[in-house]
Amino acid sequence: MRSLRKSWRVCLLLLCGCMSLRAQAQRSPEELLLKDYRPVSIYRTPHTHVQRAKYPAIDFHAHPLRDPAVSVADWVAIMDSLGIDKSVVLTYATGPLFDSLAGVYGQYPERFILFCGFDYSGYDQPGFGPAAVAELERCYRMGARGVGELGDKGKGLFYSKPVPAYGMHIDDPRMAPLLEKCADLHMPISIHVAEPIWMYQPMDSTNDGLMNAFTWRLDDQPDIVDHAGMIKILENAVRQHPRTTFVACHYANCSYDLTILGRLFDRYPNLYADIAARYAETAPIPRYVAAFYKRYANRLVYGTDMGVDPAMYRTTFRMLETSDEHFYEHDLFGYHWVLSGWDLPDAVLKKVYRSNARKLLR
């Protein structure tokens, strides 16, 4: 009887959900909200189902599992089914938190590479530096093989745990000992600088990425370094520390103008970029993006930053590997933009999926 009641309850919820979707679809255009806009492509173009990465992939931008229903063993099984050889877990962590994560993921040393954070404790006090360097070295001994994801959207470094460092940027002289120690230990630094340009622009009818930008808006933040300023801060650090390898997360958030990132690549051989979580921002311009990949194939690494759902991974493969056109992924991305695949050649795919990451990870 209890099972029957549960089945009826599920059916009722599904029916209500369908009725709600139908009501939204039938709403008059004058009443339709932007957040409810969910177009369905009517183009009868190829729809390629890519079940596995074409080459064994290294995901250079993942994070510790947050869903208690998914275990590390489950994640490994998902990786096996999709052709993901290894995942780089950007923990942000130092101290006991990093140690606990090292214990969990260390059960699969051939599948996970852990990055630690920086300990910014006392960053605003005289004498900051030696203790942070010592903690970095300790994390290295515990298994960290890189640092990240560092984060700075314009107000200072704040991703690392347990202490944020608001007001201090990656090019601050106080950071120099840490960046140089990373060079000594051959630890690449994954750093998230800025956000996509739409987040800094006015939230009005001219904002091309408004649907996503409003959620992550920065235009209303006082005393924030703007997009160009954050790119300059990144460049300063990369230039000042040529022995240190930097991986700019999310194309350094230059999806709207990849020539900015290309200029940095041309100037600084110690700079790389991951492609994580910016698929929707780049899939609308497939020919331009494909040309960029072909030119800078040695400097880009595959990444996801969107959980561990198999459908998510397969969507990234579809964008990298196919020439599919005019499709949507509303469940993954918060834009209204139509997407197209980049149809990258095998020589580029091998580098982006794997060989560039292997070089960075030694």
- How many Cα atoms occupy the beta-carbon half-sphere of 139 within 13 Å? 34
Mean pLDDT over each residue of the chain, to the nearest integer: 92
Q: What pLDDT band is residue 22 in, cutting at 50, 70 and 90?
A: low
Strand duo 146-152 + 300-301: pairing: unpaired
Please report, as a single letter, which amino acid is at residue 151: G
* Spatial distance between the Cα atoms of 120 and 110, rounded to a whole number of angstroms: 30
DSSP per position, 15-53: HHHHHHHHHHHHS-TTT--GGG---------------S-
99 and 141 Cβ atoms separated by less than 8 Å: no
Retrieve residue 179's tokens.
């960046």
Q: What pLDDT band is residue 161 in, cutting at 50, 70 and 90?
A: confident
* Spatial distance between the Cα atoms of 71 and 183, rounded to a whole number of angstroms: 34
- Higher-confidence position of 324 and 7: 324
Strand duo 156-157 + 146-152: pairing: unpaired
Q: For residue 59, which phi and psi values (nearest 5 degrees)?
A: -80, 110
Q: What pLDDT band is residue 19 in, cutting at 50, 70 and 90?
A: very low
- 172 torsion bin: left (phi>0), alpha (psi -120 to 50), beta (else): beta
Q: What pLDDT band is residue 36 in, cutting at 50, 70 and 90?
A: confident
What average pLDDT does the segment 216-225 reach?
A: 94
* Spatial distance between the Cα atoms of 258 and 251, rounded to a whole number of angstroms: 8
319 closest CA partner among 298, 289, 291: 289
What is the Rg, in whole angstroms, of the alpha carbon atoms belonging to the chain? 22
Cis-peptide, bond into residue 68, ω within 30° of zero: no
Which CATH superfamily is 51-361 part of? Answer: Metal-dependent hydrolases (3.20.20.140)
What pLDDT does residue 62 have?
Answer: 98
Retrieve residue 295's tokens.
């030119």
CB within 8 Å of 285: residues ≥ 6 apart: none
Residue 88 pLDDT greater than 50, yes or no: yes
What pLDDT does residue 229 have?
Answer: 98
Angle at Cα 161 formed by Cα 156 and Cα 165, nearest 5°? 25
Retrieve residue 14's tokens.
């599904």
Least confidently predicted of 2-6, 108-112, 256-260, 310-314: 2-6
* pTM above threshold 0.85: yes
- Model pLDDT for residues 128-160, shown as the tens digit of each residue: 999 999 999 999 999 999 999 999 999 999 998
CA dihedral 119, 277, 356, 151 (to 10 degrees): -20
